[in-house]
Structures are given as C-alpha cells and as structure tokens.
A and B are shown apart, each in its own frame.
Chain A
Amino acid sequence: TQLLEQSPQFLSIQEGENLTVYCNSSSVFSSLQWYRQEPGEGPVLLVTVVTGGEVKKLKRLTFQFGDARKDSSLHITAAQPGDTGLYLCAGLDNYGQNFVFGPGTRLSVLP
C-alpha cells in the first residue's frame, strides 16, 4: 500500500512570512499533485509534477518533486490570508488509476 505523509500537520503564521510544507513517502509515484481545500468546498488542483527533480512556480508558490519521485515540497513566499486552507498532496499510483492522498497540512495565515 502506497502511503503519503505530510508535515507539519498544522501551521499558523503571520502575513508576509515564508513557509514550506512537505509530502513524503517510501513509495515511488508516477506523478504527484497538490490541492488546496477551503472550508465547505472540494479540493482544487494547484499543480501536477511528473519528473524527478522538477520545480514549478505559480506566482508565490514553488513546488518541487524529489529526484526519486517519493517526496515533494510546497514553498509559499510572502504568505497572504487568502492562502489559508488545507493543502493536500496526492500521488498517482504506477498504474495511473488511483490517487493516494496525504492527510494534509492546515495553514492559517493571520493578517
């Protein structure tokens, strides 16, 4: 069974600070996705990373996929209250069918 762990579980920071959250596994995934979920809504896809060592940037968000495709990180620069939410990573298994979700990091950015 492929499992994903995320850390930290909770993170509360002030507006303008930088932060990094992590997604780790002992298994290899064919791709890995990051989602953000706000209260009362379903998760929304932020990015998909596919190649080991890949780095993708979306405005203030930087995503990295580990060389061995077992881990990933999300770095947010100058966090804003609008970044508040539950950040979930999801790994696509090697059959390309099922997604394994991590438990999430709950981020709170205080104004």
Chain B
Amino acid sequence: GAGVSQSPSNKVTEKGKDVELRCDPISGHTALYWYRQSLGQGLEFLIYFQGNSAPDKSGLPSDRFSAERTGGSVSTLTIQRTQQEDSAVYLCASSSSGLAGPIYNEQFFGPGTRLTVL
C-alpha cells in the first residue's frame, strides 16, 4: 500500500505478558517514529529511527519498552511484562527526511494499534 500500515489494529493482553507491535513505513522513508497516545490525550514521543544511525530512545518510558528497525524498513515495538498503564494507542509515523533534513518535514501516520492490558 501507499501509506503507513500497523498491525495488529487491536491487541488485548493480560498483565505481565509481552507484546509486539509492527509498523510498515512508506517505502523509501528514512525516518520512523513511534508515539503513544492515551485516551483523549496528545502524542507522547517514544523512539525515533533515522537511516542507519543509532535510534533516539529518549522517550521510552521504561526498560520494558524496546524497538527495532530491520533493514531500515519495518519496525517492531516490544513491550515486556505489560502493565495496565501501558494501555494506549501506539502510533507509528514515517517521513522522508530526518537529520539535518528540511524543516518542512511531514510525518505520515499509520492508523495505530490499540493496546488494552487487562
């Protein structure tokens, strides 16, 4: 497809379980972002990948959160030992530039994965 896709669209899990969320960015986009959006709230930055550079992990809320981006394309966000406060919509975005890129840097967002931790 032409847009950013995310899977699954919904995930219900039990407290303490691990979950993996997947993001397929737009082909050719070098930058990839993960955000978390709690109900009715704005976006909380989690992690940023730019090409082959080391990711910016400054937004990850705890060491239970990690993310990988394989081959500069698909990304997986993993949450270990999930807690109820992890319940949120996890949004992925990609853009065609990042480091020192133009300031008209448009992010294209996927529809998100709604995570519910029981």
Contacts and interface: CB of A to CB of B under 8 A. Distances in A.
A42 B91 CA distance: 7
Interface residues of B, number: 28
A27 interface: no
Contacts, number: 65
Contacts of B112: 40-42
Contacts of B50: 97
Question: Looking at chain B's contact residues, is the secondary structure mostly helix, strand, loop, or mixed?
Answer: loop
B109 A101 contact: no
Interface stretch (B13-21, B70-78, B93-101): B93-101
A41 B105 CA distance: 20
B42 interface: yes
Contact of A41 (B33, B44, B111): B111
Interface residues of A, number: 25
Contacts of B107: 43, 45, 99
Interface string A35-52: 000001111110010100
A88 interface: yes
Contacts of B43: 43, 88, 90, 101
